[in-house]
């Protein structure tokens, strides 16, 4: 309770939201994904996505009731009326993007690698997350097929170990997930080595799918206010995550007021 109260207090102190003067609305059943740190830490009921979504719904006047389920199961719950909002880029009434996942090619800066295009990974030892070839586009899949030094490993922390120990030249990972697991590495590995992020892939934006258009619209209005404040930046500092020119990698661009309202 103390953690959630602190987040909401922080949000209300950094943004001006209309929900402060509106009557309390019914609880809203929100289903989000299973544990994927630092985005979701289900056992601790926190994480970047958890904090963002519950704070935005609080600000919109709802009392979020959060449960955790795989994406396909969450979609079925929404369709069956067992959930009011789920993380999805299709179905229901879609919200504005609330978060951006940012996959990148990550190298140790001391190696001075010059990587500007996916095919340039051919000449390096590359380790990526499981099934990356399915998610990062045909150009990446072609590189993986050509490169004899390409591997995929799970769990994520293995990628961190491989890069910091010098057994690979490049790790392919979401920047924030990589940063989170770096803090959990064996202290004998020198994790003070600066990292270089090579932006080869577009960010992946995520939305909420709502059963009710009014709830979606209220969420969007609260989200736009949050995006104009410094709540994202404060979360990046709280979770000790990197920023680019003062902007968190997980902060999505703000959408025009009318764009998401047309999404159904």
Could you confirm whether domain 103-198 is CATH 3.40.190.10?
A: yes
Question: Helix 2-14 and helix 231-238: axis angle, to 10°?
Answer: 140
131 three-state secondary structure: coil
Examine the pLDDT at 24 and tell me if it is beyond 80: no
Q: Using 50, 70 and 90 to split pLDDT, how confident is the model at 255? A: confident
Examine the pLDDT at 262 and tell me if it is beyond 80: no
**What mean pLDDT is predicted for residues 17-29?**
65
Q: Give pTM, 2 decimals.
A: 0.86
- Cα separation, 171 vs 145, in Å, equals 16
CA distances from 84 to 10, 81, 150, 154, 256 (A): 26, 7, 42, 33, 24
Give per-residue pLDDT as tens, 164-220: 999 999 999 999 999 999 999 999 999 999 999 999 999 999 999 999 999 999 999
Nearest CA among 115, 114, 119, 129 for reference residue 163: 129
Question: Helix 157-164 and helix 175-182: axis angle, to 10°?
Answer: 70
- Per-residue pLDDT at 254: 86
Give per-residue pLDDT as tens, 215-239: 999 999 999 999 999 999 999 999 9
Could you confirm whether domain 2-100+206-262 is CATH 3.40.190.10?
A: yes
Token pair of 224 as six digits: 């736009």
**What's the mean per-residue pLDDT of the chain?**
90
Q: Using 50, 70 and 90 to split pLDDT, how confident is the model at 260? A: very low
Every domain of the chain and the residues it spans: 2-100+206-262, 103-198
């Amino acid at each position: 309770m103390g953690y959630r109260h602190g987040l909401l207090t922080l949000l209300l102190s950094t943004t001006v939201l209309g929900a402060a003067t509106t009557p309390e609305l019914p609880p809203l059943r929100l289903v989000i994904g299973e544990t994927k740190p630092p985005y979701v830490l289900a056992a601790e009921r926190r994480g970047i996505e958890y904090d963002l979504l519950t704070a935005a719904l609080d600000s919109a006047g709802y009392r979020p009731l959060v449960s955790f389920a795989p994406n396909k199961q969450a979609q079925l719950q929404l369709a069956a009326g067992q959930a009011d909002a789920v993380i999805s880029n299709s179905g229901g009434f879609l919200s504005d993007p609330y978060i951006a996942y940012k996959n990148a090619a990550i190298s140790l800066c001391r190696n001075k690698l010059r990587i500007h295009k996916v095919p340039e990974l051919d000449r390096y030892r590359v380790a990526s997350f499981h099934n990356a070839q399915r998610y990062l586009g045909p150009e990446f899949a072609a590189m993986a097929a050509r490169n004899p030094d390409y591997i995929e490993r799970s769990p994520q922390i293995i990628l961190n170990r491989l890069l910091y120990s010098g057994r690979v030249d490049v790790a392919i990972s979401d920047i924030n997930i990589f940063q989170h697991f770096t803090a959990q590495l064996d202290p004998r590995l020198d994790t003070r080595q600066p990292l270089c992020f090579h932006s080869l892939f577009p960010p992946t934006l995520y939305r909420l799918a709502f059963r009710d258009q009014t709830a979606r619209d209220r969420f969007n209005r609260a989200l736009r206010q949050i995006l104009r404040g410094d709540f994202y930046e404060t979360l990046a500092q709280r979770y000790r995550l990197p920023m680019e020119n003062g902007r968190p990698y997980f902060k999505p661009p703000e959408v025009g007021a009318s764009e998401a309202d047309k999404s159904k």
